[in-house]
């Protein structure tokens, strides 16, 4: 049964990634996650050490390819695994660490090989707002004219005090500048935020969404904070410095956030995938479909939709 939401073919009351892909490409499209072996400026000492406090050693690429393989071998290996579940076209997703943190000649050798495959319809590049200089911007502009391109920016929170706590090592102002520069070239942007970060309450999480709802972005990923073994955040949790969100709390926050986001922003993700081998918590997050179903049920209970409380401030 259709929900009645403008961008839905089913019971969803928000603009899903699957709906977007289906209506853009007219067939099944899935991401193939890759690890190009980059690092980050808050890991190598340029701005800090250790990376973000929640990040595993894989740099948020726990399900990406093997960086010991070249990109084409990685792509073919991961795609073969994905084909056991899905058939269709692909978006090559450069997921792990900061994928514009290198000279342009290296970036070209990294990204361009996947364009040789006929079934690749796009590229998605995860990076940081402070790692897009003029030469990288020019190259991304060039790349966007060859294929469907999304640049994914890990913001997590609009609060700089939270950024300092998680060792992000760049400011919200730098994020806004990067968005404006990318959009000046008409490059698609996906913003990552995380619910449940240490020191943040519900109102702060909603404020992050209210704030990003006013800027020119095309996609959002809403993540649940996962605490992974052998991270700074794992020690902080053990020491009682913060508490994990309960499932009902998370569902309530996400539904509020969906109401605040414009209806035309595509929701690529509403929770996350934690590796059960290294996940400390929340353990309820392992039942991902249950979480998504609870979000659907709560939106239906409220008789609400994405954007129902959105207000343009300028």
Q: Is the previous residue joined to 282 through a cis bond, with omega within 30 degrees of 0?
A: yes
Q: Is residue 246 in some structural domain?
A: yes
**What's the token pair of residue 141?**
């502009």
Band (59; pLDDT cuts 50, 70, 90)? very low
Look up the CATH number of the domain holding residue 104. 3.20.20.70
Cβ-in-10-Å burial (0-12, 13-18, 19+) of 203 comes to exposed
pTM of the model: 0.94
Q: Per-residue pLDDT for 58 more than 70?
A: no
**Rg of the chain over CA atoms, in angstroms?**
19
Query: For the chain, what is the HEC assignment?
Result: CCCCCCCCCCCCCCCEHHHHHHHHHCCCEEEEEECCCCCCCCCECCCCECCCCCCCCCCCCCCCCCCCCCHHHHHHHHHHHHCCCCCCEEEEEECCCCCCCCCHHHHHHHHHHHHHCCCEEEEEEEECCCCCCHHHHHHHHHHHCCCEEEEEEEEECCCHHHHHHCCCCCCHHHHHHHHHHHHCCCCEEEEEEEECCCCCCHHHHHHHHHHHCCCCCCEEEEEECCEECCCHHHHHHHCCCCCCCCHHHHHHHHHHHHHHCCCCCEEEECCCCCCCCCEEECHHHHCHHHHHHHHHHHHHHHCCCCCCCCCCCC
Band (67; pLDDT cuts 50, 70, 90)? confident
- The confidence score (pLDDT) of residue 48 equals 92
For 72-101, what is the mean pLDDT? 93
For 96-117, what is the mean pLDDT? 96
Among 144, 63, 71, CA closest to 114: 71
Q: Is residue 10 in some structural domain?
A: no
- The confidence score (pLDDT) of residue 8 equals 87
Q: Is residue 308 in some structural domain?
A: no
Q: Per-residue pLDDT for 163 more than 70?
A: yes
- The confidence score (pLDDT) of residue 26 equals 94
Q: Is residue 3 in some structural domain?
A: no
Residue bearing the bigger pLDDT, 60 or 96 = 96
Q: 120 forms bridges with which residues in the sheet?
A: 90
- Pick left, alpha or beta for residue 169 (phi over 0 → left; psi -120 to 50 → alpha; otherwise beta): left
pLDDT tens digits, residue range 2-18? 667 889 888 899 999 99
Contacts 24+ apart (CB under 8 A), 65-71: 65/33, 65/34, 65/35, 66/35, 67/35, 67/36, 67/37, 67/96, 70/113, 71/34, 71/36, 71/110, 71/113, 71/114
pLDDT tens digits, residue range 202-239? 999 999 999 999 999 999 999 999 999 999 999 999 99
Contacts 24+ apart (CB under 8 A), 11-14: 11/296, 11/300, 12/296, 13/258, 13/296, 13/299, 13/300, 13/304, 13/305, 13/306, 14/258, 14/261, 14/267, 14/270, 14/299, 14/305, 14/306
- The confidence score (pLDDT) of residue 1 equals 53
Percent share of the chain, pLDDT over 90: 87
Q: Is residue 307 in some structural domain?
A: no
In terms of residue numbers, what domain contains 93? Answer: 17-302
For 87-92, what is the mean pLDDT? 94
- The confidence score (pLDDT) of residue 65 equals 67
Q: Is residue 309 in some structural domain?
A: no
pLDDT tens digits, residue range 235-276? 999 999 999 999 999 999 999 999 999 999 999 999 988 889
Give the chain's domain count: 1
Q: Is residue 285 in some structural domain?
A: yes
Q: For residue 227, how many C-alpha atoms fall within 13 Å in the half-sphere facing its CB?
A: 20
Helical axes 288-302 vs 247-260, angle rounded to 10°: 50
- The confidence score (pLDDT) of residue 11 equals 86
- The confidence score (pLDDT) of residue 86 equals 87
Q: Is residue 211 in some structural domain?
A: yes
pLDDT tens digits, residue range 123-151? 999 999 999 999 999 999 999 999 999 99
């Amino acid at each position: 049964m259709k929900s009645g939401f403008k961008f839905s073919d089913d019971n969803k009351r928000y603009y899903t990634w699957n709906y977007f892909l289906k209506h853009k490409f007219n067939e099944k499209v899935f991401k193939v996650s890759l690890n190009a072996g980059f690092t980050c400026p808050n890991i190598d000492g340029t701005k800090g050490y250790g990376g973000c406090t929640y990040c595993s050693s894989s740099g948020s690429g726990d399900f990406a390819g093997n960086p010991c393989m070249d990109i084409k071998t990685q792509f073919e290996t991961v795609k073969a695994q994905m084909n056991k579940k899905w058939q269709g076209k692909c978006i090559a997703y450069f997921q792990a660490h900061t994928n514009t943190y290198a000279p342009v000649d290296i970036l070209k050798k990294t990204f361009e090989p996947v364009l040789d495959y006929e079934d690749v319809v796009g590229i998605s590049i995860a990076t940081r707002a402070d790692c897009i200089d003029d030469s990288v911007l020019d190259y991304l502009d060039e790349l966007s004219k060859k294929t469907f391109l999304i640049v994914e920016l890990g913001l997590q929170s609009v609060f700089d005090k939270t950024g300092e706590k998680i060792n992000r090592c760049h400011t919200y102002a730098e994020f806004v500048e990067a968005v404006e520069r990318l959009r000046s070239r008409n490059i698609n942007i996906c913003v990552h935020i995380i619910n449940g970060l240490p020191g943040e309450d519900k109102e702060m999480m909603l404020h992050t969404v209210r704030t990003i709802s006013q800027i020119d972005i095309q996609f959002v990923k809403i993540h649940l904070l996962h605490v992974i073994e052998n991270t700074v955040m794992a020690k902080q949790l053990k020491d009682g410095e913060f508490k994990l969100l309960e499932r009902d709390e998370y569902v309530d926050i996400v539904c509020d956030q969906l109401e605040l986001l414009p209806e035309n922003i595509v929701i690529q993700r509403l929770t996350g995938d934690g590796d059960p081998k290294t996940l400390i918590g929340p353990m309820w997050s392992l039942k991902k479909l249950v979480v998504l179903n609870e979000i659907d049920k709560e939106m239906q209970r409220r008789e609400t939709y994405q954007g129902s409380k959105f207000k343009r401030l300028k």
